[in-house]
């Protein structure tokens, strides 16, 4: 029987109330703080002109790191570059890329591939939330492309470079929202053409995919000095969802945002995960801010991780060997 990703019976048996209670408890915790600096390190951050990415860029720059920020908007990227360099006296370069585009994603990854200096930390932060289904010019559901496939492509293209360095920390800004894909992924309907589109479920599917791919990347990097971990950035106020309709915008501005923490909370957690010596060899894990946590059962499914890997290589136009684009 073909595996379509949904395993209700399997996952139902694996769900534990204790894990749900732990998640609720962890949501109220503050992140651990790392006081070490990272002077001279090179940090790559996607989606750095606003929200979590912006706060994270300033945090790492304040501790002496040089930055390469990958953003969509040139004017905002220029403004960020000047602000960072003026305030913190570090280098802040940028690469322009729209992560809803396969070509842009490939180009950004290959630009990083050509950098001679080792990349110390990669923070995959770029993401969107949509309430209505959108399909990219490449025929891929947009939330899946931006929130998952773009980071997969970049990691695949860079994986041999990073492995040859003998060190690097990859941080996936993930979400407890992966739990919205409670019974797994529909491998036969990743573009949502066969089902009614749900903003929460499409977002959850993309975040679940990121956790499943992490299993395979962790296997590849094991013993190399390269680590890959995912984290929930906490309930923080960001610009996510700004492209949605007026009803969602009103709800977010007048209700949701009033209950959220500042993005500096997430930035502190990301800095800890990227710099703390306590996590030097920790890999393949999911954190709620800086608290180690077990993700939902579908995120631990090794069989589905293998299936998704092959699908992602095909969707991402990758050959799966050395991170090169198929011609």
Annotated catalytic residues are 203
Question: Are the C-beta atoms of residues 181 and 198 closer than 8 Å to each other?
Answer: no
- Tell me whether residue 299 is exposed, middle or buried, using C-beta atoms within 10 angstroms of its C-beta: 0 to 12, 13 to 18, 19 or more: buried
Separation of alpha carbons 207 and 176, rounded Å? 8
Cα dihedral sign, 232-247-99-80: negative
Nearest residue to 261 (alpha-carbon basis) of 80, 21, 28, 45: 28
Burial 25-49 (b: 16+ CB within 10 A, else e): ebeeeebbebeeebeebbbbbbbbb
Residues in the chain: 327
Separation of alpha carbons 227 and 71, rounded Å? 24
Separation of alpha carbons 48 and 270, rounded Å? 13
Supply the Cα-derived Rg of the chain in whole angstroms. 19
Per-position DSSP letters for 30-58, written without gaps between them: PPP------TT-EEEEES-SSHHHHHHHH
Separation of alpha carbons 228 and 169, rounded Å? 6
């Amino acid at each position: 029987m073909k595996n379509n990703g949904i395993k209700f019976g399997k996952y139902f048996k694996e769900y534990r109330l204790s894990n749900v209670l732990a998640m609720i408890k962890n949501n109220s915790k503050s992140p651990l703080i790392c006081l070490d600096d990272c002077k001279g390190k090179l940090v790559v951050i996607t989606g750095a002109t606003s929200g979590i990415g912006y706060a994270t860029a300033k945090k790492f720059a304040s501790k002496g790191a040089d930055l390469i920020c990958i953003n969509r908007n040139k004017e905002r990227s220029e403004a960020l570059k000047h602000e960072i360099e003026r305030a913190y006296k570090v280098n802040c370069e940028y690469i322009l890329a729209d992560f809803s585009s396969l070509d842009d994603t490939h180009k950004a990854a290959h630009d990083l591939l050509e950098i001679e200096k080792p990349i110390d930390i990669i923070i995959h932060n770029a993401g969107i939330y949509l309430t209505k289904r959108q399909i990219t010019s490449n025929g891929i559901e947009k939330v899946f492309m931006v929130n998952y496939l773009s980071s997969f492509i970049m990691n695949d293209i860079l994986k041999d470079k990073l492995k040859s360095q003998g060190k690097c920390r990859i941080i996936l800004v993930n979400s407890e929202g992966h739990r919205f894909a409670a019974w797994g992924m529909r491998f036969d309907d990743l573009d949502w053409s066969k089902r009614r589109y749900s903003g929460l479920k499409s977002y959850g599917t993309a975040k679940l995919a990121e956790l499943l791919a992490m299993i395979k990347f962790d296997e590849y990097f094991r013993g190399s000095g390269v680590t890959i971990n995912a984290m929930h950035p906490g309930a923080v106020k960001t610009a996510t969802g700004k492209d949605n309709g007026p009803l969602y915008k009103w709800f977010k501005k007048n209700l949701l945002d009033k209950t959220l923490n500042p993005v500096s909370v997430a930035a502190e957690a990301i800095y800890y995960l990227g710099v703390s010596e306590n996590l030097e060899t920790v890999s393949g894990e999911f954190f709620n801010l800086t608290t180690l946590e077990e993700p939902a059962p579908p995120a631990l499914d090794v069989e589905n991780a293998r299936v998704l890997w092959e699908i992602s290589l095909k969707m991402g136009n990758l050959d799966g060997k050395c991170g090169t684009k198929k011609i």
